[in-house]
Amino acid sequence: MNLQTRHVLSDMTGLSGMSIIEAIVAGQRDPIQLAVLCHQKVRSSRETVIKPLPGNYRSEHLFTLKQSLASYRQYQQLMADCDRGIERLMRLLDGKTDAPQNPVPEPDPSFSKRRKNQFHFDMSPELKRIFGVDLTAIPGISALPAHTLLAEIGSDLSRLPNVAAFASWLALCPANNKSGGKVLSSKTRQTNSRANHALRIAAQTLARSGACLGNFYRRMRARLGGPQAITATAHKLARIVYHLLTTGQAYDESVFLKEDQKQAQRHEKRLRKQAKTLGFQLVPIAA
């Protein structure tokens, strides 16, 4: 229909896009009235939104749009039903802790927005009950990768003797391909493990994180490059997950804060040494 809405709306399945599509299917054609339906958080001005809305509303295109909208709603309903089935099955699993007496209420949709790839219910309390610890407290690991880890590795890691065996099973450690005492390759193995994929995705989300693990990812990326930084950060996440599941301890950010302080001290010492070599002296800036 020659509606160039993609230039002003990055996601047509969002609140504003769906409001415009539903209004068009209902018979609205006025660009000004359609632009009014945009949410107040849309960055483009009202005049900019109006420009791409005049279209060629041919009957066959409107019929196709109506069919597509009905199919989209049907698939969204099926996904919600699937999530409700997952919720029922999660409650049947044995847990290491008791279910919370006062479950966390659903977030208010006017203040928070559920991500499209997240569950239609709050998965975090059930994951905490089954694992015995809250894996979603780890930066980068949300309910979706935590659920993937539950499906792939379970809540009992007693079959793995140590964290090195866990990282090796996930193919997140260097390989040891030798021949005649010579190392031929040390690249990580290729794997189709969904747990490996979930940890790598979690590592990528730390690129702009202000947490200590975000600093670790950026430090590794500056030293090794993007792909190696993802592997190193995923390996670190795997070690944290193994420690929490085997000890039952909660995630503690202060441990990494101490390491960041040591890293800052080493960096300052290195800069002072370089400045002294060049004949300069570092002077701290006054507060």
pLDDT digits (tens, 9 = 90+) for 226-248: 999 999 999 999 999 999 999 98
70 in the same domain as 157: no
Q: Is residue 57 part of a domain?
A: yes
Q: Is residue 101 part of a domain?
A: no
Q: Is residue 122 part of a domain?
A: yes
220 in the same domain as 174: yes
146 in the same domain as 187: yes
Whether the pLDDT of residue 101 is over 70: the answer is: no
Contact 151, 198 (CB under 8 A): no
122 in the same domain as 78: no
Summarize pLDDT for 10-66 with one digit per residue, the tens. 888 888 888 988 999 998 888 888 888 888 888 778 888 888 888 888 999 999 999
Domain region containing 205 = 117-251
Where does the pLDDT of residue 74 fall: very low under 50, low under 70, confident under 90, or very high at 90 and above?
Answer: very high
CB within 8 A of 154, min separation 6: which ones?
none
139 in the same domain as 16: no
Q: Is residue 257 part of a domain?
A: no
141 in the same domain as 54: no
CA distance 94 to 132: 11
61 in the same domain as 134: no
Q: How many domains does the chain have?
A: 2
The rounded percent of the chain whose pLDDT value lies above 90 is 34
Q: Is residue 98 part of a domain?
A: no
247 in the same domain as 122: yes
Over residues 164-183, the mean pLDDT reads 85
